[in-house]
Structure 1
Amino acid sequence: MSTDASGADRPQPQQEGAPSRHERRRRQTRERIATTALALFSERGYDAVTIADVAEAADVAKQTVVNHFPAKEDLLFAWHRPVEADVIDMVDQLPLSASLPAFLKDELPRLFAYLPELPQAPDGGDPRTAVDDRLAGVVTIIQNSPALQDALRLRGTRYQEDLAAILSDRVPAHLGAVAARAIAAFVLTTVSAMVEEAARLRGAGRSPEQIVATLTDTVGRALDILDTGIGNTGGSATPPQDT
């Protein structure tokens, strides 16, 4: 704020696209809460930490935590957005005229080549090292928490329902909702397998380019099944006769 000749406060012009002061403070509060939660989960375990514990450690009201993170697991997913959510967003924006299997063959491997971008490491080092450390911590927290694993399974069910609803426009009408759910399950299972394979390759020291090449080959063979299946669903096949 600046002051004009009459002494009244006058807002300064804001650059187009630049976040407002309120938005910057909101982001800083959200980041502080998420960082605090990750530290507490790592120290005590996910199941032993409450929303009230996070609020107290972050020096904010409990409702502030809930406003930013409606569910407890959201505190953890702030550091690790499930890739399934990215896939659903990509498919939702794909034109109906585009081939789903061809699109997934091209795009899925790229999702796993690089780790998600997070803030620079505190010591000014390679941010990818900080990302590796954080993601390793997230994986450990998940592995040690049955409650969090249950939450992940529930989210997986919701992801499948969301993707099936999007795919319903791509599935021939005579195949119905069951086929849409089956294709959604196939796609998300393929994604889960790719997550595990990308992690294995990354742990083996493979470069992003090598990861893309390997995943392109493996996911291509997997999605050929989907492509062939969709291509042969015209309904013209003669059902087998009883003998």
Structure 2
Amino acid sequence: MRSRHERRRRQTRERIANTALALFSERGYDAVTIAEIAEAADVAKQTVVNHFPAKEDLLLAWHRPVEADVIDMIDQLPLGVSLPEFLKEELPRLFAHLPETPEAPDGGDPRTAGDERLASVFTVIQNSPALQDALRLRGSRYQDDLAAILSDRVPAHLGPVAARAIAAFILTTVTAMIAEAARLQSEGRLPEQITAALNGTVGRALDILHTGIGDVGGSAAPPE
């Protein structure tokens, strides 16, 4: 019974998200209300809210922010691993496989349905300043989450102010990497070429992180 209930819940969630994306793409994010999405998806308005507490969550169902993936990676990183070195190695590979943007040419490989939906999501985001503001606000919550993780990693010598500053630096670097990877991808660069480019240009930014905070993942003692 539980499996059947979960399957129905997943199907309802997918129907709502599909309906919302179709309406956003047709009329624009700002012009569509939760009530209209509920009516088009043939569910109660409260059902939409139960699945997607914030309106922007309807789009994030298709597009998990890269920042969330990075935070999860750091949260699961063993304490003995150097955070700056880990980020320098892993981030370029992560950003080399960003999905194609809506402006990508149509003459390439066949597009999957998921890629097409993701392209629609990016178009909706680009056309809505209100949605962009909502996503920026969500980004500040990511900063709080990452600062808490960093404080837990090295509580002896990384206070809350330093943790928040480092979190801001990491997430700003991530934002810059997204923009640079998208630019390189729009030029037709291959994933391995994007990785190589990011290793060089963004690696220098992460060197600042290493120089400034040392081995965050290690067990270095605080300065006396």
In the alignment, residue 80 of structure 2 is paired with which amino acid? S
Shift of 1:75: 0.2
**Higher Rg of the two aligned structures:** 1
Shift of 1:170: 3.6
Structure 1 equivalent of residue 135 of structure 2: 152
TM-score normalised by structure 2 residue count? 0.85
Shift of 1:167: 0.5
Residues 224-233 or 183-192, more deviating: 224-233
If asked which structure has higher relative contact order (CA below 8 Å, sep 6+), I would say: 2
Shift of 1:223: 0.7
Distance 1:168 1:175 in 2: 6
Q: Is the 8 A contact 1:171 1:179 kept in 2?
A: no
Match of 2:35 among 33, 44, 52: 52
- Cα offsets for 1:33-87 (capped at 9, x unmatched): 1111011111111111111111111111112211211111100111111111111
1:60 aligned counterpart, secondary structure: coil
Once the two structures are aligned, what percentage of the paired residues are identical? 82
Distance 1:21 1:61 in 2: 20
Write the mapping of 1:40-119 to structure 2, written as runs, cut at 5 A: 40-115=23-98
- Cα offsets for 1:190-239 (capped at 9, x unmatched): 00001111111111111111112212222221111111111399546xxx
Q: Which runs of 5+ in 2 are unaligned?
A: 100-107, 216-220
In the alignment, residue 203 of structure 2 is paired with which amino acid? G
1:108 aligned counterpart, secondary structure: helix
Structure 2 equivalent of residue 14 of structure 1: none
Distance 2:7 2:195 in 1: 36
Q: Which runs of 5+ in 1 are unaligned?
A: 1-10, 12-18, 117-124, 237-243
Shift of 1:131: 4.4
1:70 aligned counterpart, secondary structure: coil
Match of 2:180 among 197, 202, 215: 197
1:136 and 2:119 matched: yes
Match of 1:173 among 145, 156, 168: 156
1:216 and 2:160 matched: no
TM-score normalised by structure 1 residue count? 0.79
Over the residues paired in the alignment, what is the CA RMSD in angstroms?
A: 2.5
Distance 1:83 1:76 in 2: 14
1:185 and 2:188 matched: no
Shift of 1:143: 2.4
Shift of 1:150: 1.7
Distance 1:64 1:127 in 2: 35
2:168 aligned counterpart, secondary structure: helix
In the alignment, residue 146 of structure 1 is paired with which amino acid? P
